[in-house]
Structure 1
Amino acid sequence: MTPPLTRVRVLVLQHGLGALDYRVPPGLALQPGDIVRVPLGPREILGVVWEADRLPAKEVPVEKLRPVHGRYDAARIEAPLRRLIEWVADYYLAPPSAVLRMAISSPSALDGAREITEYRPTGTLPAKLTPQRLQAIEKLERRQGLVIELARHAEVSDAVIRGLVKAGAIEAIRVPADRPIPAPDPDFIVPVLEEGQQAAANALIEAVKVGAFAPYLLDGVTGSGKTEVYFEAVAEALRRGGQVLVLVPEIALTEPWLRRFEARFGCAPVAWHSDLRSTERRQAWRATANGEARVVVGARSALFLPYRDLRLVVVDEAHEPSFKQEEGVSYHARDVAVVRAQFEACPVVLATATPAIETRVQAERGRYVRLTLPQRYGGAQMPAIETIDLRKAPPPRGRWISPPLLAELEATLNRGDQALLFLNRRGYAPLTLCRACGERVDCPNCTAWLVEHRLTRRLQCHHCGFVTPPPKACPSCGEEDKLVPCGPGVERVAEEVAQVLPQARVAIVTSDTIWSPARAAALIRGVESGEINLLIGTQLVTKGYHFPNLTLVGVIDADLGLSGGDLRAAERTYQQIAQVAGRAGRGAKPGWVYLQTHQPEAAVIRALVEGDTEGFYTAETAARREHAMPPFGRLAGIVVSGPHEGEVIETARALGRVAPDLDGIGVLGPAPAPLAMLRGRHRHRLLVHARRSADIQGMLRDWLATVPVPSSVRVTVDVDPYSFL
């Protein structure tokens, strides 16, 4: 029998600190993974007991150690999650405490059972019955919830609900904070799959039965039924009593996915994302930790929840760049999902119609099993793609829709079909220019233009969030009525449509208009009912929507993503346009896609038109291999930032002067970052390029430790960067 621990190493949730040793008081038995309360100075903080041989700490005699104050009765951080935290911290050069904080993201969940106050109608009408009160009473029949939830459902203010409480029409009741979570039924409605789907599903089902780490690439064209295929693996995991994690890139746009899940399994899964209320986060965390949450669908942070018995991990739309976390701990959720599945000894499925080159290469090397679905479900055909050469058929001056596309759009709407116009630019115009002095209206905090949002009457920075009303006079020269919008955003395209096709029933689909599952649900209802027949949107419209009556897609600027010299520019353009093209012709009617372009001869545009996916990826992969770029080489970005430009420049130069001179590793820079100022901080960049086998993390640790950094300067490292701004 192992003797009880008298001292423990604790990884504390405190910025700037690693692990600390504490004494175990008599009567308290602790083991690795226990979540504890420990003293730090005059305060009490959270921490997790860790294996002493896995994290370094200053050696202190046991008699000088302060005692652990107590242990939470909540679930432990089990060994697979502890190993994941260590791996993420090591690979991405992040403090282990910062990674642990993502796993204990709801401290209130550590407390025991709670009660909260909710409200419900009493059936009594108040003496004073205003129209708002009557609306609330009618809409809240047999409904119960918090004041803010009832107000939102009834579409009235909180004050109306509180007034009804005082009037006795709504009563307060105490209920447990943790309500029972319905369990999905794996056999609720079992679909009939087509032959190709069934073969892929059988492979995934068998992997779940084996119960070992196995990475799969589920590569199917848009509309091929990938979701239904991996749902069968989800069902098998549920039959075996396990839990499932499904990662999605945009939690606000999961409404179509949630509807399909509920139709298949009889209830909704547990959701995890940043927009949850604190009570919802608490319940989701506790239900995941105790195993009650059988299926969790979430954004990338759901990777770090404490699953009790994880049997399957799915990354939906695995090509999406939004799986890369840019703030705080810079990690890629697609890659971390594979590592988590490895530590949990379970299969992981990367589902996508346009796999990233990194994922394709893993499959070609035999490290991932590739399952393909080359045909659309139900006999639907892939849409025909054509280019419109803007050099030969330009739009009229001040317009953005070319005559050929406008003619197709009008014909589509006239025959009762629906259409989609795609432009990956939010707002009305990306630039506001003064006609008198030529000054551009810039963000005061960033090296970026302010974007005009005409619907909300504001200029906004899409990097830091700065907002200001549009000025009447130029901020530089003072001339009035000389500011003009330059270039199109989706709002400007919608304005043009209103002028040339006034009969169109338009919805603008961007993160400004669709920010929650409820808004996405309203959009879907509008399209399905025919209330909306033209969508105008950004990349949000490329993800997961299935509208059988949508037969035309027009891409306003197919060249938009090709400029800037980004390593992945062509790949991202291909993925984005292929995904938005996949919204057309998903039902019985054929679909058509028109790409407005100034470069119809560009390789990526030709590949899209000719349907030459393999040719495009072969050429892109060869170029990466030739220049030893990922996945055939390694990159790491180093950003030096601070409020004082001189300190930033000197620190960056000091790093450059002592850059390692090692075989197979090169350092570029320092140089001002393309975004030379962000959120009021000056920025310089260095870029490390290394061969695949190089120990880039070890090199970076040794190198960065040699240069003293002023307290106001921050040095951040981005391993495997996706953004080069």
Structure 2
Amino acid sequence: MDDVRKMPAYTGRMNRASDRVRVILLNSALGPLDYRVPEGMHAEPGSIVMAPLGPRKLPGVVWEADRFPTEEIDFKRLRPLREVRDGVGISAPLRRLVEWTADYYLASPAAVLRMVLSSGAAFADDRPIVEYRLNGMVPDRMTPQREQALAALAGEQGTVSELANIADVSVAVVRGLEKAGALDRIEVPVFATTDLPDPDHGKIDLNEDQARVGSVLIEAVRQRAYKTYLLDGVTGSGKTEVYFEAIAEALRQDRQTLVLLPEIALTEPFLDRFRTRFGAEPVAWHSGLKQSERKKNWRALAEGQAKVVVGARSALFLPYRDLGLIIVDEAHEVSFKQEDGVRYHARDVAVMRGLNEQIPVVLASATPAIESRHQVEQGNYELLELPARFGAASLPDVEALDLTSDIPPRGSWLAPTLVRALEDNLGKGEQSLLFLNRRGFAPLTLCRTCGHRINCPNCTAWMVEHRLTRRLACHHCGHVMPQPEKCPECEDEDSLVACGPGVERICDEVKALFPEARTAIVTSDTIWSPAKAGEFVAKMEAGAIDIVVGTQLVTKGYHFPNLTLVGVVDADIGLEGGDLRAAERSFQQIAQVAGRAGRASKPGHVYVQTRMPDAPVIQAIINNDRDGFYAAEIASRRAAAAPPFARLAAIIVSSEDNSEAMETARLIGQTAPSAEGFAVFGPAPAPLAMLRGRHRHRLLIHAHRSVELQKLVREWLEDLEWPRAVRVGVDVDPYSFV
């Protein structure tokens, strides 16, 4: 490796402070370890190293010794470092972010550091990555697996493991095709060769409000100081164009910008808009990237070549060379909260990274989170408002349809008023969107003979029918099974019925009503990559789709000038379940999907189907009374001492053995610390009592904001022991209560 220095021989020199380093290895089970620096090797804090551990060597990062005090080992017993990565390291601000994230979310520093060094590029050499693609040759010997692979891999390119994953076959099948001559070998260089964005390429004329807000953000980038801005603009007000001006200023200063998006599917439409404005694409970072792309992009941003990075929440922890601006788009989105591993919230960690780097942070949203609005009231964030839509566009009219009086026909889900509106819109040649936040055909399959409900064998959840793939799927663990021909319980044939609607069922209803209409289903099942999102956008812009039926995936980020009608099929779904954020989340979701209508010169109309038309959320939506809704919701939170006026944390205990999980949860509950302003509720079986074959129990902590929550929980749990098979996780500031 050209950029890695190998370990020289040990000469037996005396112990000096510079000869001893403290290293955090990428192993969450280990704390910091001390190593010896061989003669001729330099390992400053932040250096990426390879260090021996038993017979293996593991990657790690050299850390300041005083940040993680440990018992000092005799120098002669220290093992020497093996390698040090030249040219790329972990900066002091990023090291402070790793420490803060680990401390705040009660995770190990190693677990956080794994996100920093996630691509494996830190020690990648300059050799090309080998990928493969089909060449059109069909092997003489064919098997069902080979046929499946050949059909699935048309137009695909990737490593052997990536192609096997795409085709849903074993690695041996792909290797067999390569040996048979059906795959060509391609060497992909590890160096990125993308064009640099031009800040002056596609400048547009901003309106007065946009220019005013844009000038504030431009000045913030020039000041090179920390400040968080809440960019609060109604849907269609041009928030993206405004923060593009801040990106342009960062480019002029030759500094890097990070743009966080909540969904991979939003990446492709964003890339198109970015390309139009800056004449080149930003560097992408998300789970859909191939291994070669991840290594190239990691290297480009770590070495400072990538000037703008757009990515999912994990992009927040990457080692940028000279970060000058962070933008969190759709900052209210729940998907910015990581629900496993290190349970961090990217919005809040973005603010902390901005503080550590001393750079501005922009939180952009049409429906800001109550926590963000509260930070504005506290004077911690600066509010920047865009109160009107851009150009000739105006906000759509919103009308509630009371399903107790405007009743859909039996076996149908669309109210007659909404059906007539769809018919009128088709007649005008304009596009419509039907929103239902429920994937698949039906959420429950029920036997009408014995009442048996088909559940997931690994979770306490119903199997969801997906009629397009003729499968039942669990949306929690991913378990898939064929649709049974008879009831598994009573074995009665033709007794299984689908209960309730999903987007596939709504689409079937639309096709029956309007057989001539061109429809599209947009969910994570159909739009699973930026490329698929790009195909959907192209069809919408070309007028090849008349009616879209989609989940929350279509509620944000899309701009279709000819989409003038939105129908919310069931506005009451999100209000069920007792989640403390249920009303806020429902308001945000409906307001966002309503904002897809009438985004250009054509007026828009939104119909909201509900059985509770007088509910405060529904009234706020139809009256466009956003401020009134937020005021009432904030008052309710304050009266209940709920976040952001207090703190919550959840303790989740799980095991394959329910008695072990239950006993551990009881032990934790019985040993809870007693402190003023600190209360522990539970344990109790989790609402999702089994997940992926593990029984689950939960405790909920409520604490005043003055309480040192993390310190209390850390000291409480550190003193306890439980069986090795039991997992105990802590979720600080939880968003999910299942």
**Counterpart Cα distance in 2 of 1:33 and 1:71:** 11
Partner amino acid, structure 1, of 2:375:
Q
Report if aligned partners of 1:74, 1:110 keep a CA contact under 8 Å in 2: no
Q: What does residue range 455-534 of structure 1 map to in structure 2 within 5 Å?
A: 455-534=468-547
Distance apart, 1:15 and its partner CA: 2.8
Shift of 1:707: 2.3
What amino acid is the match of 2:337?
K
Deviates more, 1:113-122 or 1:47-56: 113-122
Aligned match of 1:256:
269
Corresponding position of 1:84: 97
Q: 1:637 to 1:171 in 2, by over 3 A?
A: closer
1:716 aligns with 2:729: yes
Question: How big is the shift at 1:175?
Answer: 5.8
1: distance between equivalents of 2:54 and 2:163? 44
Distance 2:449 2:501 in 1: 21
| 1:163/1:661 CA distance change after superposition, 3 Å | closer
1:39 alignment partner in structure 2: 52
Q: Distance in 2 between matches of 1:144 and 1:567?
A: 44
Which residue of structure 2 aligns with residue 566 of structure 1? 579
Amino acid at match of 2:84: R
Q: Verify the 8 A CA contact 2:330 2:363 in the aligned structure 1.
A: yes
What is the identity, as a one-letter code, of the residue corresponding to 1:275?
A: G
Tell me the amino acid that sits aligned with residue 650 of structure 1. Answer: E
For 1:101, which of 111, 114, 132 is the aligned residue? 114
Task: From 655, 658, 662, give the equivalent of 2:675.
Answer: 662
Confirm or deny: 8 A CA contact 2:188 2:292 kept in the other structure: no
- Is 2:301 the partner of 1:293? no
Alpha-carbon spacing, 1:448–1:171, altered in 2? closer, same or farther (3 Å): closer
Tell me which amino acid in the other structure corresponds to 1:212: A
Q: Distance in 2 between matches of 1:476 and 1:467?
A: 19
1:13–1:45 contact (8 Å) kept in structure 2: yes
Q: Which of 143-152 and 681-690 deviates more?
A: 143-152
Q: Distance in 1 between matches of 2:320 and 2:674?
A: 44
Quick check: 2:121–2:299 contact (8 Å CA) kept in 1? no
Are the counterparts in 1 of residues 178 and 184 from structure 2 also a CA contact under 8 Å?
no
Matches within 5 A, 1:691-710: 691-710=704-723
Separation in structure 2 between the aligned mates of residue 537 and residue 662 of structure 1, nearest angstrom: 48
The RMSD of aligned alpha carbons is 2.7
How many angstroms does 1:706 deviate by? 2.8
- Secondary structure in 1 matching 2:684: strand
| 1:401 is aligned to 2:421 | no
1:627 Cα deviation from its structure 2 partner: 1.3
- Determine the C-alpha separation between the residues in 2 that align with 1:534 and 1:565: 33
Structure 1 residues 119 and 573, CA, compared in 2 at 3 Å: closer, same or farther? Answer: closer
1:131 corresponding residue in structure 2: none
Match of 1:535, SS state, is strand
Farther-moved stretch of structure 1 (56-65 vs 505-514): 56-65
Partner residue in 1 for 2:644: 631
In the alignment, structure 1 residue 110 sits paired with structure 2 residue 123? yes
Structure-1 separation of matches of 2:67 and 2:437: 46
Relative distance call for 1:221 and 1:8 in structure 2 (3 A) is same
Tell whether 2:232 aligns with 1:216.
no
Residues 1:180 and 2:193 are matched in the alignment: yes
Q: 1:547 aligns with which of 555, 560, 572?
A: 560
Q: Residues of 2 paired with 1:554 and 1:175: CA distance?
A: 46
Q: Percent identity?
A: 60
Distance (Å, rounded) in 1 between the aligned partners of 2:304 and 2:185? 31
Corresponding residue for 2:329? 316
Runs (5+) with no aligned partner, structure 2: 1-15, 139-149
> Structure 1, residues 171-206: CA drift from partner, whole Å, max 9, x if none?
867563213221111111111100100000000000
3-state SS of 1:699 partner = helix
- What is the rounded CA distance, in whole Å, between the counterparts of 1:687 and 1:667 in structure 2? 6
User: Counterpart of 2:384?
Assistant: 371
Q: Distance in 2 between matches of 1:679 and 1:171?
A: 39
Task: Say yes or no: does 1:331 pair with 2:363.
Answer: no
Alignment counterpart, residue 39 of structure 2, candidates 18, 26, 34? 26
1:428 and 1:548 map into 2 onto residues whose CA distance is: 29
Query: Equivalents in 2 of 1:118, 1:405: separation in Å?
Result: 50
Q: Distance in 1 between matches of 2:179 and 2:725?
A: 53
Contact 1:144 1:150 in 2 (8 A): no
2:588 matches 1:575: yes
2:285 equivalent to 1:272: yes
Taking the aligned partners of 2:407 and 2:163, their CA distance within structure 1 comes to 50
| CA distance, structure 2, for counterparts of residue 692 and residue 118 of structure 1 | 52
1:130 matched residue in structure 2: none
2:9 is matched with none
- Judge conservation of contact 2:192–2:297 (CA < 8 Å) in 1: no
Alignment of 1:345-356 (within 5 A): 345-356=358-369
Aligned mates of 1:33, 1:285 — CA distance in 2: 17
What is residue 202 of structure 1 aligned with on the other side? 215
- Inter-partner Cα distance in structure 2 for 1:652 and 1:529: 56
1:39 aligned partner, one-letter code = P
1:646-677 C-alpha deviation (Å, 9 max, x unpaired): 11111111111111121001110001100011
Instruction: Indicate if the aligned counterparts of 1:245 and 1:297 stay in contact, CA closer than 8 A.
Output: yes
Contact 1:109/1:283 (CA < 8 Å) preserved in 2?
no
Structure 1 residue 428: deviation in Å? 0.2
For structure 1, the residue ranges without an aligned partner over 5 or more in a row are 127-135
Deviates more, 1:112-121 or 1:261-270: 112-121
Once the two structures are overlaid, the 10-residue window that deviates more, 143-152 or 21-30, is 143-152
Distance, in Å, in 2 between the alignment partners of 1:473 and 1:55 is 61
Q: Does 1:57 align with 2:70?
A: yes
In 2, distance between residues paired with 1:464 and 1:166?
37
Q: In the alignment, does 2:452 pair up with 1:436?
A: no
Q: Figure out how many residues of one structure are paired with residues of the other and give that number.
A: 704
Q: Match of 1:308, as an amino acid?
A: R
Task: Output the CA distance in 1 between the equivalents of 2:179 and 2:716.
Answer: 65
- Opposite residue 704 of structure 1, the aligned amino acid is L
Work out whether residues 597 and 606 of structure 2, in 8 Å CA contact, stay in contact via their aligned partners in 1.
Answer: yes
**Shift of the alpha carbon at 1:552?**
0.4
Q: Structure 1 residue 110: deviation in Å? A: 2.0
- After TM superposition, the score normalised by the length of structure 1 is 0.93
- Supply the distance in 2 between the matched residues of 1:363 and 1:595 (Cα, whole angstroms): 31
Structure 2 vs 1, CA of residues 27 and 420 (structure 1 numbering), >3 Å: closer, same or farther?
same
Q: CA deviation at 1:148?
A: 9.0
In structure 2, C-alpha distance between the alignment counterparts of 1:352 and 1:277, rounded to whole Å:
30
Query: What secondary structure, in the 3-state scheme, does the structure 1 residue paired with 2:557 have?
Result: coil
Q: Which amino acid aligns with 1:207?
A: A
Shift of 1:165: 12
- What is the distance in 2 between the residues matched to 1:262 and 1:165? 41
Displacement of 1:275 in angstroms is 1.3
Q: CA deviation at 1:117?
A: 5.3
Mean Cα deviation higher: 204-213 or 185-194: 185-194
Q: Distance in 1 between matches of 2:209 and 2:599?
A: 18
Q: Is the 8 A contact 1:114 1:178 kept in 2?
A: no
**1:417 aligns to what?**
430
CA offsets 1:107-151 (integer angstroms, 9 cap, x no match): 2442232224579999xx99xxxxxxxxx9xxx9xx997699999
Change (3 A) 1:165 1:647: closer
1:64 is displaced (CA, Å) by 1.3
Secondary structure of 1:84's match? Answer: helix
Tell me by how many angstroms 1:490 deviates: 0.3
From the superposition, tell whether residues 89 and 148 of structure 1 become closer, same or farther in structure 2 (CA, over 3 Å).
Answer: closer
Query: In 2, are the aligned partners of 1:385 and 1:609 still within 8 Å (CA)?
Result: yes
- CA distance in structure 2 between the partners assigned to 1:455 and 1:163 by the alignment: 32
- Deviations along 1:576-620, whole A, 9 cap, x unmatched? 000000000011110000000000000000000111100000000
